[in-house]
Amino acid sequence: MKNKLIIIALVIGLFTACNRDEYDAPNSLSDVSWYTSGFRDTIIQVNVNNFASFSDLSQGALSHKWTIEEGSFYLKGPITRSDTIFDDFKIQPESLESEDETIHVLFTQGGLKKVNLYNEFSEYVEFKGADGFIFPSKEVAGKWVIDTTFIVDVYDTIVPKILIRQNGIVVPHESETDEIIVEAGSTLEFVDVSTIGRPNTRSWSIAGVTKTDSLSVIQFNKLGSYKGNLNISRQGESIPGDFDNYKIPATITVIPSSLPFEVAGEVVELENQTIQIPYNGEFAPFSDQSSHFTVTVNGTPFAIASIGLNASNATLLEIKLQEQIYRSDVITVSYDGSGDFESTDTRIPGAFTDVPVAMFQHEIVKFDFESNGGNWTANVENLPTTTIDISTEQAASGVSSLKVDAGASGNWSSFENLVDLFHLDAGVLVQYEYKVYKATGANLNFMAPWINNTGGTVTQFWHNDIATAPENTWVTIRPGKQWATGTTADDFNLYLRHSGSGTLYFDDIRIIIVDDRP
């Protein structure tokens, strides 16, 4: 008879507190019941080289037998959960079958393992689970058979395995004689490729940097020799835990960079009006350098209050001005190259002139249609004359935009986003901005972005800038109206409406806090 695979586990307190109230025994001398140390788990989970317990509590069986697989071993009790070495508990001679009522099974190999219980009765019996599941006996050659297989998921001991890549090439790291030479400012990729033991958490610790991604990119800025390690573990409420620490044998040696020490990215204004300049290496500590920098605001030099380093990243040079700056300002930064500061690997920063500053945008919300475009729909009152979908035909940024095909001229077409809600603070002035692409022949008169919440329409930004916008090119429109809500809330949404007909593409729709120079 082919064994029927049944995955069942009921409560056991290591067989110290058994409650059979949930089992309705038939009016017979024959009865079938069992417990496992997996409690109610449908699949019993244990670490490799650990055991699980099974007890057959059936009554009136004609015969009874347990069967286990190769790589599993019966243990003799008593065994406690504090025991960790089981060689002295193995029943000798070793066998795959047992007629004991209660068995303790040691699993020495990882993977899904089977433990089979085979009982024969002279009359019909059935097992009733606590969840209402009924497992009936089958008649075989005049006897009633319960043939049950329990599944045990055995977790191997974690075995860490990593790769280190430099410029896309895997480099040796497994010997203490291995040395990885890195120029200051360069990066290495550390890749956790561990599979044995099914780890699900990790933490790299290298050169004072901590990363938790399976593929972590670490930049080396300071000269010196470094070791690293990977803490790797298996954690979860319902799975057996395990942990290992892998100390990387190779030494990572950071040498001076052959590249010039220079600005390595966009110069930006932070929300707190700090101007931040990224470099391709860390700065050594330095004294005041303000006399060597010039910051112009709308063509006028502004006084510098301070120049220093970011508190957590010494590659970021930060400038604070004495006067307030605004998003509408045009700001540039220059350095004369005559300062007396340098990188931690002894490189001297070069001069630069009139590098523009990207101003902080004070965005409340932005719809770029790369990830949230599908949450926009045409208002039902406009269907089928207005259709709306995400399109890759045009895009002001990224690869997608919101495409709207409006109905006949003179009709109002409306489209709304009721999913991506945003927060507004009472009394804070906001305004609206969007980018639009008008296809040839589009005839449009007015545009009306509305801000709504659960109470209905809050305000409408009517404007006619769209009527005069050129065709077949992206145009940024920021209507002049500014507005502040009287109530702080998290349930604001956006609703767009226009008058006219034709095809439009929208991108980078934003609600922004007003930050214009008075």
Instruction: Identify the CATH number of the domain in which residue 468 sits.
Output: 2.60.120.260
Number of domains in the chain: 4
Enumerate residues 6+ apart whose C-beta is below 8 A from 264.
278, 279, 280, 315
CATH number, domain of 143, equals 2.60.40.10
Range of the domain at 95: 34-155
Domain boundary among 130, 155, 180: 155
Inter-residue contact 282 to 208 (CB < 8 Å): no
Does the residue 200 lie in any domain?
A: yes
443 vs 212: which has the higher pLDDT? 212
**Same domain? 368 vs 498:** yes
What's the CATH number where 324 sits? Answer: 2.60.40.1220
Cα torsion for 106, 109, 111, 117, to the nearest 10°? Answer: -40
Final residue before a domain boundary, out of 328, 358, 388:
358
- Co-location of 352 and 380 in the same domain: no
- Average pLDDT of 54-72? 93
Whether residue 329 lies inside any domain: the answer is: yes
Q: Is 492 exposed, middle or buried (0-12, 13-18, 19+ CB in 10 A)?
A: buried
Same domain, 272 and 304: yes
443 and 348 belong to one structural domain: no
**Residues 518, 25: Cα–Cα separation, whole Å:** 85
Contact present, 61 and 119 (Cβ < 8 Å): yes
pLDDT higher than threshold 80 for residue 133:
no
Compute the mean pLDDT over every residue in the chain, rounded to the nearest whole number: 88
* Nearest C-alpha neighbor of 276 from the set 308, 312, 323: 308
Are both 369 and 485 inside the same structural domain? yes
Residues 496 and 413 reside in one and the same domain: yes
For the chain, percent of residues with pLDDT exceeding 70: 92
Distance CA 489, CA 288 (A): 45
Q: Is residue 91 part of a domain?
A: yes
Rounded to whole angstroms, the Cα distance separating 297 from 324 reads: 10
In this structure, the answer to whether residues 378 and 335 fall within a common structural domain is no
Residues 133 and 167 in one domain: no
**Contact partners, residue 424, CB within 8 Å, separation at least 6:** 364, 430, 451, 485, 488, 489, 492, 511
Looking at the fold, whether 181 and 144 belong to one and the same domain comes out as no
Q: How far apart are CA 311 and CA 33, in angstroms?
A: 65
Structural tokens at position 317: 């040079």
Strands (E), 368-488: 376-378, 387-391, 401-406, 412-424, 430-438, 443-453, 456-460, 474-477
Report which of 166, 161, 205 is spatially closest to residue 189, judged by C-alpha positions: 166
Same domain, 327 and 427: no
Question: Per the confidence metrics, is the pTM higher than 0.85?
Answer: no
| Sign of the torsion formed by the C-alpha atoms of 503, 506, 511 and 514 | negative
Three-class DSSP category at 374:
helix
pLDDT tens by residue, 7-49: 333 333 333 333 333 434 444 567 888 888 887 777 899 999 9
Report if residue 16 sits inside a domain: no
**229 and 136 part of one domain:** no
Position 107 pLDDT exceeds 90: yes
Residue with tokens 């809050």: 458
Note the pLDDT of residue 11: 32
Give me the pLDDT at residue 288, please.
92
